[in-house]
Every structure is written in structure tokens, then in C-alpha cells.
Amino acid sequence: MSLKKMSFTSKVDNFEEVEESAMSILDLPDLVLECILERLPPAALCSMAGVCSSLRSRCISDHFWEKHMKKKWGRIIGPAAYREWQWHIALRTRKDSSHLKQGKPKGLMRVLSIVRPSWWIKSKVDDSSKQCSLPDDSIMSWFLALETGRFWFPAQVYNRENGHVGFMLSCYDAELSYDPRTDTFQARYPPHGRRAVAIENYVPWERLRAPPFDTSPHDLHISDCLNELRPGDNIEIQWRRNKEFPYADMVAIYVAGWWYGVVGHLESCDGNDNYCRCHNSDTVVLEFNQYTAGSRWRRATINRKEHREEGNEADGFYGGIRKLCNEEEISTWKRLWPSEILE
């Protein structure tokens, strides 16, 4: 055998030895592999899920996706959004069951098909007919539905409609859909009084929050802080412009937003903390200092003992009150303060 041929044969043998000795990521100890997967961002986890069935079963685990869900969506996703998701997947399951005979894509392949191509790769090893389904109730499925904007969810928007002067320092319920191209949201607001459904685009993250209470936005909040309110306390109060009645049963629909204000002093008090007794009075003064002095929106009073909803058709109706104790909530309102005093 010639020297050149022997050299070529030796290289082939060495290549085969290296190939046989190459280590797969699946050969790593379970704890090491789990530590690697925990450090992957969502895009990389999706890519790994498309490599093979073994990695797919690991990468779709709620254990990994719960952290990503909390980190990105935890601040604006509340119980109401979760219930909406449960209704969404229940409806989708019924629809899918009616299309089983039509060869529709299912599970993981259906969900990944709506994700940007760079997020995942198809396996070159597995038979394409052996597709592992992704449970609709998995956190990964919910995360991808949010991330792609296919799922509309309930949340609240500060200063709705691009900071419209009529909604400054308020927070209203809306349905939201995420736009991954702009990293902003589209908001759909329910009818407000006689106003039709309003749509706002490019809503940034900093103007969103999860509803503070797990109740319907149509419900009057029952205040539990009235007895402890003192001048200087930061509060949110439900307010609606007027009362509307549906044509059929004539039952009032409560559609209100939350408005930021502070507890003020009674007119008889000079504001000196050493002598102030406002907290002993049944009358509580609420101040909305975003409005100019003398504005009819600047001050309102409620009865500490009997308050449920107070107001009139001219000045609107004041509903439930929540005292703000969280500094992050308070700083959010102050950051949204209008650049000019409102009339």
C-alpha cells in the first residue's frame, strides 16, 4: 500500500474514532442538562424543543417556562387573564376536535408554526410524522400565545387613549394584544358611557398593570380602608361619568376607571399636623391635584361611615376606594403626572 493511501486510510479511521467518541448533550448528567436549560432564553428553549423528542419533552416543562412567564409577563398578567386563557384553550380544543379528520397540525407544531422562524428548527433526525403535541394548558403554550399576539387578555392601562386629557391619571380596563415587532401593545377599551369601543396602538409596557382586584370591572369595589384614611394618604378611587342602563332589564352597569388622588384636609383645618383632627371626622376630603385650583374636579368629599357610591350626573359618581401602601404603585402614578395642570 502506498504511503499516500496509508495516510488517507489513517485519517478516515481517526475521523470515525472521533465521530464515535463525540458526546451528545443528552449524555450529560440530568442535573447538568437541567442547569443548562434553565439558563436558556425562551427563543433558545423553543429551538431546543425542535431538535429531538427527548429534548422536546424536557424543554416544554412548566418548570422552565414558569420563570420566563413571571419575568416577562408577571406584572401585567393577573387571575382574570389566566381565566381568559382557560376559556380560550377550551374553545380551541372543541374546534380542534372537529377538524381531526382534516389533517390539521396539532400541539407543538401548531404553536411553533406561529412563532418567528428563528425561534426554532425542525428535527433532522425524527420522523416528521412523529410529532409530539404540546399541551394547550402548558405554560409554554400560554407564553407563546402571548408572545405572538394571538391571545387577547384583560389588563389595565394608565392614561388611556394616548394620554387623552379626559383620562389623565386614571387607569381603565382593556383587552390587550402584544406586538412583538414593536414591543408594544394594542388596546381595546369597552364602551365608556356613550363612547363607542376605542382602540389604541403602541401602548408601552410602563402604562400597563394587572387589575388590583380579582373582580369584574363592572363591580363596585367595597372599600375596606375608610376608617384609616388620613390627610396625605395616596388613594385610588373608582369614578364614572354617569349611569347607564341597558335597555332590557334596567339594571345599572358599573363601568368605571381607577383615578389617583390624595386625602386632603377639611376646610376647617389649617393643615398643621400637630393639631389636625381630620381623621376623626366622618367627612373625608379627596384631592385631585392634577386639576387647577377652583376646578370642579379638584376636590370631592365622601362619608367615611356610609360611603358606597356618591355623586351626580354633573360631576360623576365616586365609587370604591383603595389606599395605596406600595411605594412602586405610588411612584408609577407620580411618574405619569401631566406636564401641565388640567382645567
Q: Is residue 175 part of a domain?
A: no
Write the CB contacts of 106 (distance below 8 Å, at least 6 apart in sequence). Answer: 96, 131, 133
**Lowest model confidence (mean pLDDT) among 60-74, 148-162, 187-201:** 187-201
At 103 the pLDDT is 54
Q: Is residue 319 part of a domain?
A: yes
At 194 the pLDDT is 63
Please state the domain count of the chain. Answer: 2
Q: Is residue 9 part of a domain?
A: no
CA distance 128 to 118: 19
Q: Is residue 241 part of a domain?
A: yes
At 190 the pLDDT is 81
At 208 the pLDDT is 97
Can you tell me the mean pLDDT for 34-43?
A: 90
Place of cell 431538535: 51
> What is the pLDDT of the chain when averaged over all its residues?
80
Q: Is residue 287 part of a domain?
A: yes
CA distance 302 to 310: 7
- Asked if residue 106 has pLDDT above 50, the reply is no
Where among 60, 76, 107 does a domain terminate? 60
**pTM of the predicted model as reported, rounded to 2 decimal places:** 0.77
CB 24 within 8 A of CB 33: no
Distances (CA, A) of 72 to 42, 76, 77, 147, 259: 10, 9, 10, 10, 26
Q: Is residue 298 part of a domain?
A: yes
Where among 60, 81, 105 does a domain terminate? 60
- Asked if residue 19 has pLDDT above 80, the reply is no
Domain that holds residue 30: 25-60
pLDDT class for 135, splitting at 50, 70, 90? confident
Give the single-character DSSP code of 199.
E
At 229 the pLDDT is 95
Q: Is residue 125 part of a domain?
A: no
Q: Is residue 273 part of a domain?
A: yes
At 301 the pLDDT is 93
Where among 40, 60, 80 does a domain terminate? 60
